[in-house]
């Protein structure tokens, strides 16, 4: 390969810039030219390509978001959109592509590869940590640390005013952010999509805390919990249990931004480097991930069609420590 491209797609996540940096500098180290595609698949269709060099990625490892911007593309779902994207890749003499994103980004790459045989390798960039085959995704560690810092501040108010806080975190389909951050902040209960929420059980937990004269309580709610978001859960609890002054906070997109943690910078650097080496070796249509301390390779279809399971031992730990 003489020239490759890199782009970020889907929701942004802290560490994407560190991954872009690793891709660009690894490619140049191996004598390969690099183009950046701005705005994901949308930019691929529009021909929004830029040349990248070592200086292009200087002083970005500590920055959140993505310098290449990101977007969701309905046009790429159409044969016409993918044909235009292919024409732009060939016009720019692109031999292979690195995609940094989540399951939607990898599904698109898999379809595109089957139609036009352009080699793709993916780096898992999503705060949700829901991709099968990798222990952690780029941005997840930063997101849970952001939640932890925010909830630590909220607990000061909860304790000072004897309040019950319902705090909603991201996780429409998966509770990985809620589970780990909930344990880290000592939440009294953690509600996630993977388990059924029983309001009676939640009230029982709060009652035990009140009997111990607990001064404030924190309930972490993943937005996709089956009982509803934080506002709905708080409403249902308050209707039957009004001993606390109740408040609800939705952390929202604060979880996506910010400077990536050391763990995310290192993960992004390792995966970006290995993605280029994998592409140059002739392997493609797969995601580069990390399992334990080892780099692993997972076919796109397996990474997107299999669901990453939550660690049941963490659910047990959360229950024990909140009792």
Share above pLDDT 90 across residues of the chain, in percent, rounded to a whole number: 75
Share above pLDDT 70 across residues of the chain, in percent, rounded to a whole number: 100
Q: What is the pLDDT of residue 64?
A: 96
On whether both 97 and 18 belong to a single domain, the answer is yes
Question: What is the rounded average pLDDT of the residues 22-33?
Answer: 98
User: pLDDT averaged over the chain?
Assistant: 93
Q: Examine the pLDDT at 52 and tell me if it is beyond 80.
A: yes
CA–CA distance, 259 with 263 (Å, rounded to integer): 11
Instruction: List the catalytic residue out of 128, 141, 225, 264.
Output: 128
- The reply to whether 94 falls in a domain is yes
On whether both 52 and 92 belong to a single domain, the answer is yes
Q: What is the pTM of this model?
A: 0.93
Q: What is the pLDDT of residue 310?
A: 80
Q: What is the pLDDT of residue 253?
A: 93
Q: List pLDDT tens digits, range 268-297.
A: 999 999 999 999 999 999 999 999 999 999
Q: List pLDDT tens digits, range 54-90.
A: 999 999 999 999 999 998 899 999 999 999 999 999 9
- CB burial of 77-96 (b: ≥16 within 10 Å; e: otherwise) equals eeeebbebbbebbeebebbb
- The reply to whether 312 falls in a domain is no
**Residues 266, 101 contacting (CB under 8 angstroms):** no
Domain span holding position 96: 3-139+260-305
- The reply to whether 113 falls in a domain is yes
Q: What is the pLDDT of residue 42?
A: 96
For the question of residue 311 being annotated catalytic, the response is no
**Residues 149, 134 contacting (CB under 8 angstroms):** no
Q: Examine the pLDDT at 210 and tell me if it is beyond 90.
A: no
- The reply to whether 316 falls in a domain is no
On whether both 96 and 205 belong to a single domain, the answer is no
- The reply to whether 296 falls in a domain is yes
Q: What is the pLDDT of residue 160?
A: 85
Q: What is the pLDDT of residue 12?
A: 94
CATH number for the domain that contains residue 125: 3.40.50.450
Q: How far apart are the first and last CA of the chain?
A: 58
On whether both 200 and 233 belong to a single domain, the answer is yes
Judged by phi (left if over 0) then psi (alpha if -120 to 50, else beta), residue 126 lies in: beta
CB within 8 Å of 247: residues ≥ 6 apart: 158, 163, 164, 165, 166
Domain boundary among 229, 256, 283: 256
CA–CA distance, 265 with 142 (Å, rounded to integer): 10
DSSP state of 138: B
On whether both 171 and 247 belong to a single domain, the answer is yes
CA–CA distance, 250 with 170 (Å, rounded to integer): 9
On whether both 7 and 134 belong to a single domain, the answer is yes
- Using 50, 70 and 90 to split pLDDT, how confident is the model at 197? confident
Q: Examine the pLDDT at 94 and tell me if it is beyond 80.
A: yes
Six-digit token string for 100: 């940094």
- The reply to whether 225 falls in a domain is yes
Question: What is the rounded average pLDDT of the residues 37-65?
Answer: 96
> Helices 140-161 and 262-281: crossing angle, nearest 10°?
160
Q: Examine the pLDDT at 207 and tell me if it is beyond 90.
A: no
The total domain count for the chain is: 2
- Using 50, 70 and 90 to split pLDDT, how confident is the model at 2? very high
Q: What is the pLDDT of residue 61?
A: 98
- The reply to whether 216 falls in a domain is yes
On whether both 134 and 7 belong to a single domain, the answer is yes
Q: What is the pLDDT of residue 80?
A: 96
Q: List pLDDT tens digits, range 123-145.
A: 999 999 989 999 999 999 999 99
Q: What is the pLDDT of residue 291?
A: 93
CATH number for the domain that contains residue 212: 3.40.50.460
Q: What is the pLDDT of residue 319?
A: 85
On whether both 212 and 251 belong to a single domain, the answer is yes
Q: What is the pLDDT of residue 209?
A: 77
């Amino acid at each position: 390969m003489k020239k490759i491209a890199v782009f970020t797609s889907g929701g942004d996540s802290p560490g994407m810039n560190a991954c872009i940096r690793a891709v660009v500098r690894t490619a140049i180290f191996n004598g390969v030219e690099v183009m950046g595609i701005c705005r994901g698949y949308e930019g691929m269709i529009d021909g929004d390509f830029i040349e990248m060099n070592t200086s292009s990625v200087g002083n970005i490892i500590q920055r959140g978001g993505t310098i290449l911007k990101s977007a969701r593309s309905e046009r790429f779902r159409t044969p016409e959109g993918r044909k235009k994207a292919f024409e732009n890749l060939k016009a720019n003499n692109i031999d292979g592509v690195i995609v940094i994103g989540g399951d939607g980004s990898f599904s698109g790459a898999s379809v595109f590869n089957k139609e036009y045989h352009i080699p793709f390798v993916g780096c898992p960039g999503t705060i949700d940590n829901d991709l099968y085959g990798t222990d952690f995704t780029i941005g997840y560690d930063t997101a849970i640390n952001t939640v932890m810092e925010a909830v630590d501040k909220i607990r000061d108010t909860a304790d000072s005013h004897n309040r019950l806080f319902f705090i909603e975190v991201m996780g429409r389909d998966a509770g990985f952010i809620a589970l780990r951050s909930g344990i880290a902040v000592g939440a009294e209960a953690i509600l996630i999509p993977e388990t059924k929420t029983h309001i009676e059980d939640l009230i029982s937990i709060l009652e035990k805390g009140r009997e111990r004269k607990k001064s404030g309580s924190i309930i972490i709610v993943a937005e996709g919990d089956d009982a509803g978001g934080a506002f709905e859960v708080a409403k249902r609890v308050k209707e039957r249990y009004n001993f606390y002054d109740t408040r609800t906070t939705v952390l929202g997109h604060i979880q996506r931004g910010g400077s990536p943690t050391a763990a995310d910078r290192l993960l992004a650097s390792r995966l970006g480097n290995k993605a280029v080496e994998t592409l140059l070796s002739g392997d493609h249509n797969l995601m580069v991930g990390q399992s334990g301390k080892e780099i692993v390779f997972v076919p796109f279809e397996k990474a997107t069609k299999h669901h990453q399971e939550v660690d049941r031992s963490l659910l047990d730990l959360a229950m024990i420590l909140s009792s």
